[in-house]
Amino acid sequence: MTGAPSVADGRGATAIASGVRFEDLARTFARPPVVGMVSYDASQPSFRLRMHALRPLLEREGVIARTIEFGRKREWIRIARNARQMRSCDLLIFQQVKLLCGERGLVRRMCPVWALDVDDAVMYSRPRAAGRPASTAAWRQRRFRKMAAQCGVVVAGSDTLRRMVEAASRRVEVLRTPVDLAAYPPAPLPERKRIRLAWIGLGGNLDYLEQVAPVLHRLRADGAEIELRVISDRGPAIRGIPTVLVRWSAAAEGNALAECDIGLAPLPDDPWHRGKAGFRCIQYAAAGLPTVTSPVGANAEIVGNGETGIWARSLEEWHAALTRLHGDVALRRQMGAAARRRAQEYGLEPYARRYANLIAGLLSVGTSRVRV
């Protein structure tokens, strides 16, 4: 992972590795630089967490940041509809977006300087149902390679994802999805009889949690008192386990996790899921929770086995890990404190500054062309 350190001391003070500053770029352009952040759906978590996190710093530096929303299944029309906005930009950051061949040529004439931001394995497709294989169609991989090749940099959400994309790109930088630590009070992890197991995420991902339902039933049969806290838009299809649904909101998620004892992060092992950026594990770390996780992709990078949590590959290992943590409050506290310290690496400020360095470096090349 590369990237020179930056120094900030107010507007226009971010030092760039190349020696370029945003204030210098503004003088070169004779106006504030304009960065377009392109998404299929700006309400999606990946865009909200990764792109919105950049706005305060960019605006403080005098950069104009614009959201350009394509929508889905509107190929070609989306280009015409957003042409004026894209022409006004000096840099386009495509967040998970892969353009068609003809679209790429057209958009390059509007704005030739691009970056691609990915925190999913977008060269593949998510399995249509739990237990089914991910789609690794050649046409989808080819479309991704062509898109990545035209970008000055691909920003990946994990080291695993970097390895998956580096063959397609001239430059890959790893920036993990950041977390606002101020919004996550550390969990006190009190000594209590009924242990609260946390899972957070979109309702569409509840099948990850449901795959460890046999473990939860076995724990109950062993006499372990547990309660499942699901922070989501809907609850899981798990019967016979005391479950509390906490309706997700950005304002409530930190406090909801602070009321729990152990974070759960099960994940299937296939090409699509290996590319996940592991933000659920980052959230648990920010809340100071020990995490039991499938060591798949970024989950294994974020959760230190035996340090900030426990890896579990099989249902038997899941049962052993949860049994161990359930019966040892001192271990939960030890791992939770280590996780909170690790979470400092994923803070908003270092993320935004490293991203700002990349943006300023790309802007400094001006109208330099990238290969087709």
Closest-CA residue to 41 (of 121, 101, 87, 97) = 97
List CB contacts of 19: < 8 A, sequence separation 6 or more. none
Q: Tell me which of 3.40.50.300, 3.30.2310.20, 3.40.640.10, 3.40.50.2000 is the CATH number of domain 22-178+347-364.
A: 3.40.50.2000
- Is-contact 271 296, C-beta < 8 A? no
189: helix, coil or strand? coil
Rounded CA gap, 328 and 277, in Å?
Answer: 29
Give yes or no for a contact between 238 and 209, defined as CB atoms under 8 angstroms apart.
yes
Rounded CA separation 69/82 (Å):
8
Task: Give the tokens for residue 163.
Answer: 């390895």
Domains 22-178+347-364 and 181-346 share a fold: yes
What was the pLDDT predicted at 16?
Answer: 40
Say what the pLDDT of residue 136 is. 84
The pLDDT assigned to 20 comes to 63
Phi, psi of 334, rounded to the nearest 5 degrees: -65, -50
pTM above 0.85, yes or no: yes
Q: Are 332 and 129 in contact (CB under 8 A)?
A: no
3-state secondary structure of 122: coil
Distance between CA atoms of residues 256 and 249, nearest Å: 10
Write the DSSP assignment of 157-195 as a string of letters. Answer: SSHHHHHHHGGG-S-EEE-PPPB-GGG-PPP-----SSE
Domain boundaries, the chain: 22-178+347-364, 181-346
Q: Which helix (H) or strand (E) holds 310?
A: strand 309-311
Supply 217's token pair: 């039933």
DSSP states of 202-213: -GGGHHHHHTTH
Q: How far apart are CA 136 and CA 201, in angstroms?
A: 25
Q: How many CB atoms lie within 10 A of CB 296?
A: 21
* Average pLDDT, 10 consecutive residues per value, the chain (372 residues): 31 42 79 94 92 91 93 80 94 95 93 96 82 82 94 96 93 96 97 96 94 97 97 94 95 96 96 94 98 97 98 98 98 98 94 93 64 32
Residue pair 39/95 in contact by the 8 Å Cβ criterion: yes
Task: Assign residue 73 a region (left: φ > 0; alpha: ψ between -120 and 50; beta: otherwise).
Answer: left
Q: What is the reported pLDDT for 73?
A: 66
218-229: burial string, b at 16+ Cβ within 10 Å, e else: bbeeeebebbbb
CATH number of 181-346: 3.40.50.2000
